[in-house]
Every structure is written in structure tokens, then in C-alpha cells.
Structure 1
Amino acid sequence: MKKILVILDGIVAKKLMQRIVETNTADNSYDVVYMNDAIIPEQKASNCTFYKFDPTSESKLAMVLDKDVHTQVMIALNSKDEMLNVIENIKKRKKNLPMSILDYWGINMKDPYVDVYKGIEVLANGMIERLPNIPVMAQNIGLKQGEIMEIKIPFGSSYAYRYIGSIEQKEWKIFGLYRGERLINIKPSLILKPNDVILVIGKPSVLMQVYNAIGKSQGQFPMPFGHNLYLYLDMYLQDDQRILNVIDEVKFLHKRLKNGKLIIRITRPTTVGILESIKENFAGNESVEIKMDFHNLGMERLLKSDIRAFDIGMLILTSEMFKNRKKIRHILDLRIPVFKIGEKAVGLGVKRSVVLINDVNSYEQISPVVFDVASQLKTKTKIFNMDPLGENQDKSNLLDHFENLAKIFNEKVEIVSEDKNPIRELKKQENILQILPLKQSMLKPRLSWKFLYTNSDLISFDLSKFNQLLIPVIEE
């Protein structure tokens, strides 16, 4: 649930409060600061808390700001000076808190966190659209049923830092994107960022689902990559006990993650006994489909057809599959997350989600997934920021970014910043899931002299001990 601070006074305050009540959903709760009892609706919503005081009072406003973590502020006041004073007081306490303000005076704000809603222009545009030969807004185009929609990407959304090509667009499509004051050309490699505004077209019912999914900050993974989990199990590569351990791990993921179905593709089956054991594990579970490949059609061919057929959002592979990197390089083209089941698969025993920061660009892209997955698996998050050589780029903004996301997801995060060997510290961990970006270099051949490598992503990827979640990224 998102907490929103609303500060109201003046001639439009009552109407705004009425609209908040009319469009109220259980997804938001409101702290309402007001001065005039006339704006209070006759029926108060249960998720609205009212405070009567002058919002220009810095101390009283601070009391409300410090009480909860607000995701946004909406301000509509009767005076320009009061508006500027309130904005200044909020900035003193929460400098990065997004604000939407109603402006009738021509306030010139160049703050990226302040969205100015110009009341006079809105009224003028609404009247001019009724004149002949004047282009109308999107709500009056097409079937006039809402098949064109504008959606803002909020900070912490599962769609933030996703490149458009990795987002499943079934019965809807992104056809425009505004970043700041500029229209950006749509291409598959374009990364969505917080505060971007996308224009989408599709079935109205589908667009409402998309709108709700984009607006939520947790519990969405494996979306937006797809809805279902997919285990590709080559039985020839591991013994029966290992296969049973893998099945336990997959059952845990299927239970905890917000996925629709679990698809198990079995190839090169070994014994009838182990096949029966797998089927018994999922007996009566209609959300699990077991598909057999008796003809050894090949991993690349099967994945290409199954990804399209089953709306796959995450591919699950055993660590044994990664011993022949050349054979599985094609998984990069799928552009979906890959869960690598380590030798010590822990399932219910997983305690922490661990991130070993290497570069800023790729880890910023995977950051929303880190907390989304942690919230669903009910794990604590631990961030290692280690630079023993002192040569890496400044990561202070990235660490602030992780801490802000943790607040949005209501998750605890532990950040360890030391000048120690990161891989040595990683090996000391127990019962963890490591989350890291999926990069092309990870699936390239390595030199036999391991000590020549200093890239922590490559070294940790080569470890087979832990479970790892690999998130596809756009590499610079």
C-alpha cells in the first residue's frame, strides 16, 4: 500500500477531496492536511487520516512527514506564497519526495521531483477541444473506450529499468515514450526509467491490468518478462538424488513466486522410477505441466518453441548445464531471467538475497528485481560493496538507490562496504540466493589461469555452490 500526503486549501480543495474519495482504492492510504472543515466529505474513507493545521508551519508539517514514509505529495493551495513555502518545508525534510502541485500563478519550477499541473492551461485545453477542426486528446480517439492510455513509470515499479524488448506485450503495445519534455523513439533496447511516461494501446481491460501491474512496486516477478516458470531438466547430467533435490527447489519457487504455471520440460530421461517420482511430487497440481522430449530435439530448438507457447518469465537450469557454456549461449537471446540451481540448493532454507556490486549500470537495472524477489521469497537483502584495489567507480548514488528501493518495498537491506576480497567474503555465506546481471561475457570460454580474472561478476558466476538468479541487462 502506498502512502500519499495531500495538502489542500482553496476553491478546488473540496472537489479534489471528493474525487479522491470517489476514485479511492485499497492500494493507497492518505494523510490529508487541511485548514477549512468545508473540504471534508460527508463520508470519510477508512484509509484517510485528517490533520487540521496550517501547512506552512514547518514543525507541524514535519510531524506528519516523519510519521510515515510517503511515496508522493499532492498540493492544492489558495496562495502562491503558501505553495512555495510548503514546497520548501517538504524539501528540507524529504528532498527526493515526488510532488504534484496545482499552479494558477505561473510557478517556474525546474525541480525533477516537482510535477507542476497548470490549472489555467487545463481549462483552456478542455474548452478548445470542443471547437471544430481542433485535434482532440487520446480519450476521444478511436472507440472512445480507453484503448489508448498514458502511464507513468513510478520509482520502484517492476517495469523500471527494464528494456522494452524484454517486456511481454500481449494484446497491448508501447508506442510512445516521454522522458522529461522529450519524445523518445521506441526501440527494443530502450530502457524504461522512473518518471518516464509511456503511451500504450490495446484492449481497455488489458490496459487496466498493465496499469495496475506497472503501478505496483512488489510481488510482480517474473513479470514483466512473462507469467510462468520453466524448468529445463536434462536427466542425463545428474543422478537421481540430485534430480529430486532440484524438484524440491522448483516446488519452493513455484509456491513463493507470483507465477501462473510451472512447466517442466524433461529431456534424455533415464529411469522410469525417477520419472514417476517427479510426477508424484506434482500429483493433483493443475498449475504444473510436465512435458517429455523422448527424441532429444536439442535445448535450443525446444526453448525457442516453448518460450513462445508457454509465456515463460523465468528459465530454471541446473548448474550442471553451465559446464558447457558454448552449448547454452543461446539463452542470452531469450532475454528472460535464468535461475541457476546450485550444488547446495536450499529451498525453504534460503535466508538472504545477496548482491555483489560490480558496475553501476547493470546493477541499477536489476535493482527492482532484487527487492521484488526478496519480498516474495521472504529473505533479507545483503549488498556487498567491496573494492579491495580502490580502482572502481563511485557507487554512492547506486547505494542510495538501493536504500530508497528498500523503503518502497518495505524491505530491510544490509550494506557491507569494506576493502576486502569480495569473492572470499561471498564464499563464506550460507543459505543464500545471489542475484546478478546476465552478461554475454559470462558464457564465453575462460582461460585456465583463474587468478588472471578480477571481474567479480565472472568469478562469482563460475561458482556452482549457490543458487543464482541472473537478470538480463542492456550492456554499455
Structure 2
Amino acid sequence: MKKILVLAKVCVANHFLKELAKFKDSTKEYIIVCQDDINFKHSFTHIKIDPTNAARLKNYVNNNLELVYLLFDNDLDTRLAYDAIRLIDKRVRIVVLSNNKEYENDSFCTLINQEEMTTNHLIDILPNMPMIARDIGLGIGEIMQVFVPVGSIYANKHINAIAQEFYKIALIYRDNEIILPKPDTQILANDELVLVGDPNILNLMFSRIKGQVGQFPSPYGDSICVVIDMKIDENIDNLINTALLLHAKSNSSRLIFYVVNPTINKDLEKLKKLKRKTIIVHIKYEDISVNNVVLEFCNMYSGLFITSKEIFKKNIATFYDSSMPVLKIGTIDFAKLNTIACIGSGSLRVENLTSTLLDISLILNLNAKMMYFDNANPVSDDLIEHINMQSQFFNKNLELVEYKSKNPLLELKFNPYIIHCLGFEKHIIKTNTLKYLSNDFSKLYEILDDNYQLFIPIV
């Protein structure tokens, strides 16, 4: 019979032990090692010894041991008990209740961070936050539960009327009952939907279901980071003005400037005068790379990067690894932009860009356009349906323009008043001389070096 060993203090594990006592599991033997009395009825074996004593524990650890729990209220007892078990058995699976991340290096150890679990649960209860399954699957947001409020565009819709290419509505909870959705199942206000799929898409779906628009840089974060290298950046004033305008019009809570290789000039003086409650200016007088600056921001915040074409080219792999969107500035004044557009084709799926594109078009009062170019594959009915649905949700027209012969990249190249929105995918960071023969327009982003370009991370 397999054994489950629990090393604990009753004051910490009392509730867990009471629940354990209710189990009727005849396939396992439960052994509780603690020096305290257990004052409730139970069927498990209680060993009243010091749970941190390796010599005495050795009698209870053998080949039949399947799992060990360490449930203490201080780091010293946890460390002593952990070391004791590892002296006896190097590979037995251990569950540790601790906030100390040092146990993460043990591949046979599961760390339960009580503060993190409590915080996550409190966050999940917030009305405008998605509830994410953190202990199932990858735990990165690929399973999400969303409440459908009254007035949502998803209320009263049938399942078969909702495009679900990058995600699925797996379950519906209604009046404390589980509904397995069928094509003709109707979603009602106050339903709870369980969504499964690409985490980026689920975040966008959460915003749609809740009726939240004009939230950019959400769902990627709430901060804007501007990276400036005074040694190589040619138009710092445009970087500053772009960031200030976007911060003023977007839903960002803070604007952070990072300045490396500072030089005494009018741009530096302008930056110094910007400091206020929601604007932070970090001037890096020490020798530090842009790569380290990006990592510093990622460790503390999340949101949108704004940078020049020079910085973007030199650090594209680092920006890609951040999994955050990047706005590469163009040559004209940001305030003069009039359109935001993406390019689509039969082989290039852009459905997961259109929500961000429309959100930004609302914030900046820009026209929104999808430029379709693929002689071999005409515009599909699914794409038309997707565009109509997006336009309806955002109450903003997403214009679909089909190009029969003229390459839309050329229109963008000679029209600096359009922001080019594209997927930030891994293949675009690779150097490949054959990319100019490709019909994947994202690989040809460098043709638009002087245009504003918004790179959206794609999982």
C-alpha cells in the first residue's frame, strides 16, 4: 500500500488534516508526523515525534512512500524537514508550504506559496479581472472563466454565431448548473463562461464580453516604456512627444522614460522637466545596455514599449522575448497620423490583431483598415464575418480593402500617415536574405523603416 507522509504543525495544517480525515481512500496509508495532539476523529496514523528529526523519520520513509507534505509556519522547520527527507530519499515527491523560492530548483518538489495563492484569489474576485485557472494545465491563462454582464454583446447570442477559431467556449455555468454548449445553445446575461485557448486571445475575449473598449495598452499591461539611447537616436523629440500624446489618450497609468548614454542637450533638459506623478524619468549615467533596461522594465511593469527604428533593430530579440507590444516611431509628427492598418492574406491570419487595431483607432480617433492582398486566395466569408463582428463590437468601421495587383506595402511606404500593425512573431527576428521573396508581409517590415509600426506579440 502506498503511503502519504505529512510532516506538520497542527496550527498550520489543522484544516487540511480535518479534510483529509473525511477521505475514504483504502488505496493509501496516511501518516501524520507532528508533536501536537490531534483533537478530532481520524483514521490516519499519528506519529508523535519531532518531524524535523532525520534519524527518527527514517523509520517511516521507504519504497512505498509516494508523497510528502511539509506544512510548517517558519522557514527553519521547513528547511530542517526538507533536508531530513532528502537525506533519506532524493527523488520522493515533496509538497512544500513556503514563500521561499529556493525549493523551485528541486524538480521533485512542488512549492505552495500561500501569499501568492491568496493574492491570486483576491485578484480573481475583482469584477473587471478574468478568473484564470492557475493550477490546471500550463497555468498561463489558457483556461479562463468570464461573467457575462447585462448588456454584453454576447448576451442572447447562440454559440454557432460566435467565431471561435483561436479559442473555445468549453462550459457554461448557469444557476449553479453545468451546461455543455451545443451550436444552438444560447448565452444569457449572468452566465459564467469557461474559455479555453490562446491566452492573448482570451484576454481580448474577456474585454469583448465585458464590453470594455479603449483600454489599450491593456491587456498587455498598464504602463508605457520609452527607451532612448542618446548616442544613436536621431529624433528624440519625436519619441518624447509620441509617448506624451499616447499616454494622455490611452488607458496607461504611468509613462516611464529610460535614457542611456545621456548627453547634455535640450532633449535631456526637456526630459528632466517631465517628472510628475504619472511620468517617471530614469537617466542611466552608468554604463548600461538597452537590453538591461528592457529587462529592468519587464521585471517591474508590463505594457507597451516605444522606441526608434535604430533601437528596435539592434534589440529586436530582447523586445520579442518581453512578450509586450512595441511601437516603433516614424518620421512624422505622431499627432498627424490618420489611419491604422494591417495587411492580410489567405496564408496570413490577422484576426488576433484586429481587436488591438480597433481599440487603438478609438483611442486616437484613427481610421481602421485591413489591406488584403492574395491573388490565389480571395477574401473568405469567415474573414468578412470576423470584420463585421469586430466592427459591431467596437462600434467602429474596420474597412476591408482588397488589392488585386498593387502591393499594399507600397501604399504604406509612401504614406507615412498610416500606422502599420503586425504580428510580432519569432520568424521576423531572424536574418534571412530570402525573406524578400516571401508573401508573408510581416517578414518585410523593414521596408517600412520610416513608418510608425506597432508590433503585437502573438503566442
Q: Which amino acid aligns with 1:398?
A: L
Determine the structure 1 residue equivalent to 2:427.
441
* Matched letter for residue 329 of structure 2: I
Q: CA deviation at 1:230?
A: 0.2
Corresponding residue for residue 76 of structure 2: none
Q: Sort the Cα spacing of 1:273 and 1:425 in 2 relative to 1 into closer, same or farther, 3 A.
A: closer
Name the SS of the counterpart of 1:385 in structure 2.
strand
CA-CA distance at 1:244 after TM superposition: 1.0
| Change in 2 beyond 3 A, CA 1:289/1:108 | closer
Residue 211 (structure 2) aligned to one of 209, 213, 216: 216
- Counterpart of 2:356 in structure 1 is 369
Tell me the alpha carbon deviations over residues 232-287 of structure 1, each in whole angstroms, 9 at most, x when there is no partner. 11111134xx111221111111111110000000001122443112223x25x321
Larger Cα-atom Rg: 2
Question: Which residue does 1:320 correspond to in 2?
Answer: 310
What is the correspondence of 1:88-127 to structure 2 with a 5 Å cutoff? 96=161, 110-111=182-183, 114-115=186-187
How far apart are the structure 1 equivalents of 2:354 and 2:393?
A: 12
Q: How many Å apart are 1:408 and its aligned residue?
A: 0.9
How many percent identity over aligned positions?
A: 21
- How far did 1:347 drift? 1.5
Decide whether the 8 Å contact of 2:204 with 2:219 is kept in 1.
no
Give the secondary structure class of the aligned counterpart of 1:222: coil
1:204-233: CA deviation from partner (whole Å, max 9, x where unpaired) = xxxxxxx88961331111112111000011
Q: Unmatched 5+ residue regions in structure 1?
A: 1-24, 26-47, 49-68, 75-89, 118-148, 153-176, 197-210
Q: Counterparts of 1:286-301 in structure 2 under 5 Å?
A: 286-301=277-292
> Which residue in 1 is equivalent to 2:328?
340
Matched, 1:236 2:231: yes
1:460 paired residue number = 445
Q: RMSD between aligned alpha carbons?
A: 3.8
Which residue in 2 is equivalent to 1:399? 384
Query: What are the Cα deviations for residues 422-449 of structure 1, in whole angstroms up to 9, with x where unaligned?
Result: 22232243411111110112221132x7
Q: Which has the higher contact order (CA 8 A, sep 6+)?
A: 1
SS in 2 for 1:114: coil
Q: Distance in 1 between matches of 2:185 and 2:255?
A: 41
Alignment partners' CA distance in 1, 2:221 and 2:204: 23
Could you tell me how far apart the structure 2 residues matched to 1:191 and 1:450 are? Answer: 27
> Matches of 2:252 and 2:347 in 1, distance apart?
29
Instruction: Say how many residue pairs are matched.
Output: 299
Match for residue 395 of structure 2 among 410, 429, 433: 410
Q: What 5-or-longer segments of structure 2 have no aligned partner?
A: 1-126, 128-149, 164-171
| Cα distance, 1:194–1:403 mapped onto 2, change above 3 Å | farther
Deviation of 1:416 after TM superposition, in Å, equals 0.7
Q: Answer whether contact 1:317 1:338 (CA < 8 A) is retained.
A: yes
Question: 2:152 touches 2:210 (CA, 8 Å); kept in 1?
Answer: no
Would you say the 8 A contact 1:384–1:417 is kept in 2? yes
TM-score (norm 1): 0.55
Equivalent residue for 2:259? 266
Distance 1:451 1:260, change over 3 A: closer
